[in-house]
Structure 1
Amino acid sequence: MTVTDISREPQKPEIIRLAAYCRVSSKSTDQLHSFAAQIRYYKDYERMNPQYKLVDVYADEGLSGVDMKKRDEQNRLIRDCKLGKIDRIITKSVSRFARNTQELLVALRSLKEMGVSIYFEEQGIDSDKMNMEMLVTFPGMAAQQESVNISDHLRRSYQMRMESGEFNCNAPAYGFKMVDGQMVIKEDEAAVIRRIFDLYLQGVGKQNIANILNAEGVPRRYAQEKWYHTTVNYVINNERYMGDALLQKKFTTDTLPFRKKKNRGEKPQYYVENSNPPIVSKETYIAAQELQKSRNVSHKRERVHLLAGILHCPECGRTFRRLLLNGTAYWLCSGKAAGATNCQSRRVRENAVYDTFCLMVDKLSAHRQDLLGTLIHQLEMIQNRGGESLEKVRQIDKQIADLSAQNLVVARLHTNGVLNATDFAAQSSVISNKINALRLDRKKALAEDEDDELIYTLKSLDDTLAGYVPGTPFNRALFEEIVQSITVVDNARLAFHLVGGLAFTEQIPENVRCRTA
């Protein structure tokens, strides 16, 4: 018997239709170079991998990375996948495809159902080799790490610019505006700043200055806002008004969730002289500082004790006075002690006030996110942080996306030789100018009103409590910073009235309570 091996004729390997997805620079001057470079890269990739046939390169502008709905090219890519034109997608990294984990997961599942695989070069992840359970777990971790890396790069960039003195603010203080990335004086607001310094040097107090400005209807940056003691204090102590800048007053935490914190020595600060045009002279600014110091010293001399003028009677409203008895300090209603009022007898030990304050701060610190975080968020929502301004931002984003698409088309036409260099430069310049103007409008629409009295105060309190360690012994500086007054409800309870209009009632520990007289 003869057995003959009849081998099949070798079949040609099946050609896999490949699509490349990338993001090009958001700067119009770099778009052409970026897009052309990535086309070359993927053409070379196709040549080195003969099993692939490159269908197209889909490129979105880098600015639109957070929301898939704003990516026109990515949407075109998905449509082509649905039409059966593509078998496989290649992209640089997870974050290039999406940073929103939920949308990324939906897209991956959808592509898998269409029979389209996707390969992320940087992470070395191939969706063709993953089951659905793995799809659920990987994108969030990868994209989150990418967000951390990007934030770290931004922080380093800011740090280097601060060290070199090149850093400028993103949201200029009242009295300034940004023109082509530079701070310039806004004369109508600058006149108000000069007047505040003049009034203060004439001896007018900060609250009285605020009252004068409010009575005259002098507007702040946003018409609905009023002038307050703290706003005037911010002006008097802002070195920007004499032309200098103290950089990194706040910093962003290194890990998720990213949060801004007041810099209390955790990060270096940089003082830049002549960083911006001055609104007042250095002599005027320094004179205001000296006057402020002298007033603070005078005020401290008048208040002989930390609790003087702080403790109040809930019945007659008078302050409490200090009494030493057998070496122990007590505080009692001055009206009752003098026989001028018929209030209920209330007295509290001095150490009991401090102990009760510590208990109150421990609880406030522990529930800081629920109490202060929620309150700040609600106030920001009330202040038109949503509504009209968000709709305006959405409209601006749509216009930017449309213009960016036009710019990409112009760049492609130039790459293909349809447009000459002169026409390309002219058309690209017009589109880029429109985009830049829209971005400035977007920044204004999203600008956070840092001067708002209540929100500013609550954020400062939140920053202060963020660094507080529960169980810390009584801290005089913290007490002076956050306590405005204390009502002695009775011999067992104190009501603390804090900055920002907050009030908390706390039980006095039983071992330090005074007996009811």
Structure 2
Amino acid sequence: MKRITKIEENKALSVKKKTRVAAYCRVSTASDEQLISLDTQKAHYEDYIKSNVDWDYAGIFYDEGITGTKKECRDGLNSLIDSCEKGLVDLVITKSISRFSRNTTDCLELVRKLIGLKVTVIFEKENINTESMESELMLSILSSLAESESVSISENSKWSIQKRFQNGTYIISYPPYGYENVGGEMIVVPEQAEIVKKIFEYTLAGKSTHAIAKELNDCGVTSKKGGKWTPGAINAIIRNEKFTGDVIFQKTYTDSQFSRHTNDGELNQYLCENHHEPIVSHEIFDKANEVLNQRGREKGNGERTERYQNRYGFSGRIKCGECGGVFKRRIHYKPSGSYIAWCCTQHIEDRNSCSMKYITDDGIKAAFLTMMNKLIFAHQRVLKPLLHSLQGFDDKDRLLQIQEYETKLEKNMEQRQVLTSLMASGLLEPALFSKENNALILEEKHLQEEKKQMINSVSGDRTKIEALETLIKFASGSEMLTEYSDEIFLSYVEGITVLSRKEIVFELKCGLKLKERLVG
């Protein structure tokens, strides 16, 4: 008699096996901004992979601070290959061929190796999935393009810009304060033009950039972006030849490594005279600039007059709590002897505009020693809780937002490349090219500004954490201080705000603001 026994199905085997997915990211320099960009890519891919129910997260592999032209120099990539060889990864996602490798031979070699290990690679930008490829032809072509992609984009853009420099048709999409862009033309804004004229008049009358900025702020006049005026913004206006109606093109340039530099004669510059309506005459412009140059020479700053020499630890780091002016070092003489004092520059120039009197060098140093000794004594109760608070702040959402800005900027760049190519081949009218290109330039500027604000936010928090960790290490291993040291001051203090002759605030690099009394 036949006997049949039912063998139950193995439900565990019927469950669909999830794909183990890893991502590869790379940045070519170790700058703070590039490292934040790397963290942005990592946060994006981690979020992207984990949000797919059919995928298992197999890790993020990355390289930082290298050019990526040779695979032997990339530990992150080699670690990824090692994981694939161990059978831990089924699918690799990377942003583009140029992120994977800029060397055609290496790229094809790596892809062939991964295919041999039954690992699929997805190149997002080029929309290539090696699992569905019929041949390597497309990958080979795109890889060759990636090898010279950055250079060709740069050269196309430079060609277009150089032509417009030479024939005077380059459009300044974001004119300085006093002008606005109307249909590609720089048009004077009357109300702002009056402020520009006043800035030049005040300079010729002997007022400092600090005093001019303060007067404009006190009168409620806002800068081009609607913010407060600063001495640097005043200096930039006085130095800008555009207010004479002329324009010097190519004052800066980008090198082959995509770093921006001031053009000190390395490349041609183009002076376009009578480019637009002037706000001040050449005579006034030249005299105002000579005033700035003379002040710089008096301060010992040479030709680059906007830069101040910091010969002492406190130089440029003490500001007035009343007017915002910077304190200047002076020697006061008395019958009993001399002493060093720090005085508000605004008070020195006009005592009626700022009443803040001097404070002594010895008083500041004594206050600094008191503040540091308090931190050494109480670092466990004051500094460590602050560190835990900062370390607990999650910046993943901000990193994902930076990723969104980068995606939009890439799309913007691609659109500008298409326009440039059409213009270069004569398929696009110059007027239409200028209109569309300027709109994209403005969009790019806004996106870059928003992205930069977000990067500064993330970078600022990380910088504070690093500064706080350094301060805790010093405070926990140091005896009470008995002598002032410029080295210690510069290591931990960002600046000092003088509230009165009896009270100052130390602004530490870690973000703390600590008030101390001045004695004597």
* Fold shared per TM-score above 0.5: no
